[in-house]
């Protein structure tokens, strides 16, 4: 499965390198990517240099500045399983649709949106009552992507959750 990893913003240098604005939250996730997809073409990654929210890529078949410049504004894709996620990190698309339950077994609902405000992502759940909660280490007991299940500490949940009116 392919996932958008960024957009080419410009050519970098004269040897065909491109500057990629990363859509992933850490450009270092791209270090394991061996092939990227731009339009209908695939390109082997010859070199990857993460730098903040950007990544510089040297791609097979892109040998000069003019060719690199022709890729400006193109969206770049990679195979999802080639991205390196640290333990405890997840793709948003894998979390959407997960069932959220409390440690006492009570069902909260299904994750329908994840809002990113900076300090902590806010999960929005639809259920018997619509509720939002921040994704905090002391709140989340487990995340099982395979089973589509997120388990939360019941006591901490009641302290931090916000119910819709």
* pLDDT score recorded for residue 97: 96
* pLDDT score recorded for residue 131: 97
Strand partners, 162: 132
Beta strands in the chain (DSSP E): 2-12, 17-22, 35-38, 41-51, 54-59, 75-79, 99-102, 107-116, 121-126, 131-134, 140-144, 149-152, 162-163
Domain coordinates of the chain in residue numbers? 2-82, 92-163
Indicate the length of the chain as a whole number.
Answer: 165
* pLDDT score recorded for residue 161: 94
Yes or no: say if 36 and 42 are a contact pair by the CB < 8 Å rule. yes
Question: Binning pLDDT at 50, 70 and 90, where does residue 18 land?
Answer: very high
Q: Which helix (H) or strand (E) holds 68?
A: helix 65-69
* pLDDT score recorded for residue 155: 96
Q: What angle do CA 21, 117, 77 make, to 5 degrees?
A: 30
pLDDT > 90 fraction of the chain, expressed in percent and rounded: 81
Give the sign of the dihedral formed by CA 57, CA 61, CA 65, CA 68.
Answer: negative
Mean pLDDT over the full length of the chain: 93
Name which residue leads in pLDDT, 88 or 102: 102
What CATH architecture is 92-163?
Roll (2.30)
* pLDDT score recorded for residue 56: 97
Name which residue leads in pLDDT, 25 or 4: 4
CATH class in words for 2-82: mainly beta
Mean pLDDT for the stretch of residues 82-95: 86
Beta strands in 23-106 (DSSP E): 35-38, 41-51, 54-59, 75-79, 99-102
pTM of the model: 0.73
């Amino acid at each position: 499965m392919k996932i958008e990893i960024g957009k080419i913003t410009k050519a970098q240098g004269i040897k065909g390198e491109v500057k990629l604005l990363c859509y992933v939250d850490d450009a270092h996730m791209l270090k394991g990517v061996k092939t990227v997809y731009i339009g209908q073409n695939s390109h082997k990654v010859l070199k990857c240099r993460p730098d903040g929210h950007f990544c510089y890529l040297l791609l097979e078949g892109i040998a000069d500045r003019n060719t690199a410049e022709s890729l400006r504004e193109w969206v770049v894709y990679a195979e999802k399983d080639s991205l390196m996620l640290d333990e405890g990190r997840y793709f948003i698309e894998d979390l959407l649709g997960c069932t959220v339950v409390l440690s006492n077994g009570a069902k909260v609902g299904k994750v329908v949106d994840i809002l990113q405000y900076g300090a902590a992502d806010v999960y929005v759940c639809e259920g018997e009552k619509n509720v939002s909660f921040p994704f905090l280490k002391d709140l989340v007991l487990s995340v099982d992507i395979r089973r589509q299940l997120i388990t939360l500490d019941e006591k901490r949940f009641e302290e931090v959750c916000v119910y819709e009116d």
